[in-house]
Structure 1
Amino acid sequence: MPATFDFDAASALSKGARAYQEDAVIADFSRGSDVGVAVLADGMGGHAAGDIASKIVVTEVFSELMFQRGDVEAFRKTVTQNLLDAAMAANTCLRQHVDMHPETHGMGATLVATAIINQNLYWISVGDSPLFLFRDGSLSQLNEDHSMAPQIDFMMKSGLLNAEEARNHPDRNTLTSVLFGEEVPRIDCPEEPLELRPGDLLIVASDGLQFLSNTQISEILSAHCDAQSAEIADRLLGRLNDLQDPDLDNVSFSIVKLNTPRSTGANGCAATVEGMIRHVG
């Protein structure tokens, strides 16, 4: 029987420099559970549309995954299809909302949802919300970036653009895939899971976190890798606030630390994310 990890998890939300919040995030890594779930959406469509879109997506995907995880063995066998079905159900809900409220036409949301079953990480993502893994002092993005940024970076590497032109390109943040009630052009949902290790740290985030460079994020994680996830969340938010950037986007993320696998009957140091969500601004 595979070892079961203990989780230390926390989430955070900040409006950044925006007047309203269009991100939504929810997670559950309850003590003793064999399945941990985190779901995040970054809405678009303006006030009273983007925030609704993100809530629809997060609520629909999270509730479906929580329902399905009740039977762990069945969930393990069909988790990839469950993730796809949950995302498509959320997309349908967006379509129905727009049909009932035509003034919200154009609303949509990115999605990144993770399911951890014992040591195996599964995910689905649509859009540019990143899923990061911090392992052995190195930060990497696991999921695809469904925006123009990868193509613009390729143009820079090919010598068609210089670094400043690529960094400030007006189409850099244009999405190439998003949930908006229509056909979804691109979905990242690998069939095979990533096997996690004790000491791994995951960040499920909106792209607002990327106002910090990967180097800056890595520095914070390296300096506080022994801290609780809630403290790490505070450190990341503090560094973002220190930027004093008038264009700082909404920021949301869930941090999940994987501790040493627990033995049957052992008192682990697992923590549920519920009650540990930080709201700033």
Structure 2
Amino acid sequence: MRPPFDFDAASALSKGRRSYQEDAVIADFSRGSEVGVAVLADGMGGHAAGDVASKIVVTEVFSELMFQRGDVDAFENKVTTHLFEAAMAANACLRDHVASYPETHGMGATLVATVIINRHLYWISIGDSPLFLFRDGELSQLNEDHSMAPQIDYMVKSGLLDKEEGQCHPDRNTLTSVLFGEDIPKIDCPTDPAALQAGDILIVASDGLQFLTDEEIAQVLSASRGAQSAEIADRLLDRLREQNDPDLDNVSFSVVQLQDADDCKAQSEKSQLTGIRCVG
């Protein structure tokens, strides 16, 4: 039995204008697999500490999800529990690391982890790393933003701040929740999954990608219909470089395109005559 979707996925990392990389991302969307997994963390705590924090979180969460996905039916029945427990295990690892290396006190990381199974998208997120869905030309953020930005935007909408003040507010990027080895104030892990459709594009990203506006990201995706995910990733990075922003943060993301397995098979057969290649 073929899986409900074929995946075309690619990941990208850039230091931006920073002198070191504090993001980490890993994904597994193997052709023919019934389950796809992507995990991303944006570290904080300065050189070394932030880098270590993001790697601890990504490694712990990814390895746990990959271990659990062996039995697909059992995994789907408890996928939100597994996501939550994996995040808690990563948080405990951060706590143990800080206990062993006190000089890293204050290190932490955001987390966004996604699981695609049987046309359903499950996720857990902590912090401000966005999870985007692009469908029918529209880009939307699926997960909560655990920073001060939503509150500041609400103040702008309510007339308490003007638009420019809101965009430049010094507290805009202040996090209201993060993994740092202690209690986690906010966790976004919906029990009900999001239903996916063939043609959807998912982007699991660090907030560095948001140096582009939602409109700019959507423009790149709209102009990239038919392109492979690796090419889309390159175009997003090119658009960021074109801005020439001296404050450009670390950028990391995974691009995942979804296609019906039967459609992909049909295109593969057609490619023998037309030269069109379907990437799974």
Is TM more than 0.5 here? yes
Q: Which residue of 1 aligns with 2:217?
A: 217
Q: Which residue of 2 aligns with 1:278?
A: none
Whether the 8 Å contact between 1:134 and 1:201 is mirrored in structure 2 is: yes
Alpha-carbon distance in 2 for matches of 1:106, 1:3: 43
How far is 1:260 from its partner?
Answer: 1.9
How far is 1:261 from its partner?
Answer: 2.9
Alpha-carbon distance in 2 for matches of 1:126, 1:36: 20
Whether the 8 Å contact between 2:3 and 2:34 is mirrored in structure 1 is: no
Alpha-carbon distance in 1 for matches of 2:61, 2:267: 31
Whether the 8 Å contact between 1:146 and 1:186 is mirrored in structure 2 is: yes
Shift of the 123–137 alpha-carbon distance from structure 1 to 2, 3 Å rule, reads same
1:88-128 per-position Cα deviation (integer Å, ceiling 9, x unaligned): 00000000000000000000000000000020000000000
SS of 2:203's partner is strand
SS of 2:199's partner is coil
How far is 1:50 from its partner?
Answer: 0.2
Matched, 1:104 2:104: yes
Q: Which residue of 2 aligns with 1:252?
A: 252
Whether the 8 Å contact between 2:228 and 2:279 is mirrored in structure 1 is: no
Q: Which residue of 2 aligns with 1:166?
A: 166
Q: Which residue of 2 aligns with 1:20?
A: 20
Alpha-carbon distance in 2 for matches of 1:175, 1:2: 42
How far is 1:267 from its partner?
Answer: 9.0
Matched, 1:62 2:62: yes
Alpha-carbon distance in 1 for matches of 2:174, 2:256: 29
How far is 1:264 from its partner?
Answer: 12
How far is 1:186 from its partner?
Answer: 0.3
Whether the 8 Å contact between 1:2 and 1:119 is mirrored in structure 2 is: no
How far is 1:221 from its partner?
Answer: 0.3
* Counterpart AA for 2:36: G
Alpha-carbon distance in 2 for matches of 1:188, 1:149: 16
Q: Which residue of 2 aligns with 1:5?
A: 5
Q: Structure 2, unaligned stretches of length 5 or more?
A: 269-277
Q: Which residue of 2 aligns with 1:276?
A: none
Q: Which residue of 1 aligns with 2:149?
A: 149
How far is 1:153 from its partner?
Answer: 0.3
How far is 1:73 from its partner?
Answer: 0.8
How far is 1:3 from its partner?
Answer: 5.8
Q: Which residue of 1 aligns with 2:183?
A: 183
Whether the 8 Å contact between 1:98 and 1:104 is mirrored in structure 2 is: yes
Greater relative contact order (Cα 8 A, min sep 6): structure 1 or 2?
1
SS of 1:185's partner is coil
How far is 1:4 from its partner?
Answer: 1.2
Whether the 8 Å contact between 1:30 and 1:270 is mirrored in structure 2 is: no
SS of 1:81's partner is helix
1:58-79 per-position Cα deviation (integer Å, ceiling 9, x unaligned): 0000000000001111101000
Percent identity (aligned) = 74
How far is 1:209 from its partner?
Answer: 0.1
How far is 1:2 from its partner?
Answer: 9.6
Q: Which residue of 1 aligns with 2:116?
A: 116
Alpha-carbon distance in 2 for matches of 1:50, 1:194: 31
How far is 1:216 from its partner?
Answer: 0.5
Alpha-carbon distance in 2 for matches of 1:225, 1:114: 23
* Counterpart AA for 1:20: Y
Higher helix share: 2
CA RMSD of aligned residues (A): 1.7
Whether the 8 Å contact between 2:3 and 2:32 is mirrored in structure 1 is: no
* Counterpart AA for 2:165: E
Q: Which residue of 2 aligns with 1:233?
A: 233
* Counterpart AA for 1:67: F
Alpha-carbon distance in 2 for matches of 1:263, 1:19: 44
Map of 1:262-281 to 2, 5 A cutoff?
262=262, 269-271=278-280
Q: Which residue of 2 aligns with 1:52?
A: 52
Alpha-carbon distance in 2 for matches of 1:262, 1:69: 23
Normalised to the residue count of structure 1, the TM-score between the two structures is 0.94
Alpha-carbon distance in 2 for matches of 1:234, 1:107: 30
SS of 1:259's partner is strand
SS of 1:6's partner is strand
SS of 1:186's partner is coil
How far is 1:265 from its partner?
Answer: 8.7
Q: Which residue of 2 aligns with 1:36?
A: 36
1:103-160 per-position Cα deviation (integer Å, ceiling 9, x unaligned): 0000000000000002000000000000000000000000000000000000001100
SS of 1:66's partner is helix
How far is 1:170 from its partner?
Answer: 0.4
